[in-house]
Amino acid sequence: MLRVIAGTMRGKKLSEFTGDDIRPITDLAKGALFSILFDRVIDADFLDIYAGTGCVGIEAISRGAASATFIDSSRESIKIIKKNLELTKFTEKATVINGLARNALLRLNKKFHFIFLDPPFFEEIDNEVLNIIDKNEILLKGGEIILKHFEKTVPPDCFEKIKLRETRRYGNSKLSFYGYES
């Protein structure tokens, strides 16, 4: 069952995909992520790339984020995200973009405190998406990029300005955290 785990919409059940080919973030990993971000998410602008159901960005809003922007190339995902925003009454705090991550990022005219990426192919990471974030400075100073990936996938650390800070494991997933060098 997909749900909001904390904040103003705690316990709210969310719509999800049917079938087993989609692997949303587990409550364990999502809870750990927001325990790490803790109150830094309050009043933050959150970007959820490869958003799927939108559950991570919605969790951010539930915990006090000022806004969340959702990017996904799947029309089915966009329908589910919009439905989940209606269920949680967060539509006014959200922007939903249907398109390829690379293209959508190049059109953004906003910077974000937190950027979450959960690529659709669990074992593949599109370095070009991270390069666009790096070169176009889509991440605000002091913010973090969080990349969810397969435990055996080595997170990239080949970017000009953003650097890998740490990686934590949750089941067969890892969360890798990036930010600007101090």
> Looking at residues 169-182, what average pLDDT do you find?
90
What percentage of the chain carries pLDDT values higher than 70? 95
Contacts of 120 (CB under 8 A, 6+ apart): 50, 52
- The pLDDT confidence band at residue 21, using thresholds 50, 70 and 90, is low
Position 134 pLDDT exceeds 80: yes
Q: Closest Cα to residue 71, out of 46, 89, 34, 91?
A: 46
Is 60 exceeded by the pLDDT of residue 123?
no
Residue 118 predicted with pLDDT over 80:
yes
Q: How much is the pLDDT for 124?
A: 67
With contact defined as beta carbons under 8 Å apart, do 140 and 154 qualify?
no
For 139-166, what is each residue's pLDDT tens digit? 999 999 999 998 888 898 889 999 999 9
Per-residue confidence (pLDDT) for residue 22, from 0 to 100: 65
Measure the CA–CA gap between 159 and 4, rounded to whole angstroms.
Answer: 33
Q: What is the pLDDT of residue 44?
A: 98
Instruction: Give 34-53 pLDDT, tens digit per residue.
Output: 999 999 999 999 999 999 99
Phi, psi of 172 (to 5 degrees): -95, 15
**Which has more confidence, 19 or 4?**
4
| 67, 93 Cβ separation under 8 angstroms | yes
Length of the chain: 182
Q: What is the pLDDT of residues 47-95, one digit of tens each?
A: 999 999 999 999 999 999 999 999 999 999 999 999 999 999 999 999 9
Q: Cβ neighbours of residue 63 under 8 Å, at least 6 residues apart?
A: 6, 7, 34, 41, 42
Domains of the chain: 27-180 (3.40.50.150)
Arithmetic mean of pLDDT over the chain:
92
- Residue 182, CB half-sphere, CA atoms under 13 Å: how many? 1
Structure confidence at residue 158 (pLDDT)? 83
pTM of the model: 0.94
Helix (H) / strand (E) containing 112: strand 112-117
- Contacts of 34 by beta carbon, 8 Å cutoff, 6+ apart: 5, 6, 41, 59, 60, 63
